[in-house]
């Protein structure tokens, strides 16, 4: 079994890939609710289910929590 904790925080600064390992492909995107809806509907995009849950809620409500 798996469990998760969703933590929401305000952050400042610039995103970076410097801490990623060679096997990680992590990218930060700032998107609108409409762009989130498009991302959720694109079957070509590989997305973690936890990310998809947050994006789909944001696409529907315009809020992240």
Q: What is the pLDDT of residues 32-54, one digit of tens each?
A: 999 999 999 999 998 888 889 99
Dist. CA 59–CA 55, nearest whole Å: 6
Taking the model in full, what pTM does it have? 0.72
How many other CB atoms sit within 10 Å of the CB of residue 58? 20
- The CA-atom distances, in angstroms, between 41 and each of 5, 19, 20 are 24, 29, 27
Per-residue pLDDT at 41: 94
As a whole-number percent, the residues of the chain with pLDDT over 90 amount to 46
């Amino acid at each position: 079994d798996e469990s998760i904790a969703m933590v929401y925080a305000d952050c400042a600064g610039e995103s970076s890939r410097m801490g990623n390992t060679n096997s990680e492909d992590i990218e930060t995107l700032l998107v609108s609710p409409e762009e989130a809806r498009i991302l959720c509907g694109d079957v070509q995009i590989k997305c973690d289910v936890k990310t998809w849950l947050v994006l789909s809620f944001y696409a529907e409500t315009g809020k992240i929590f």
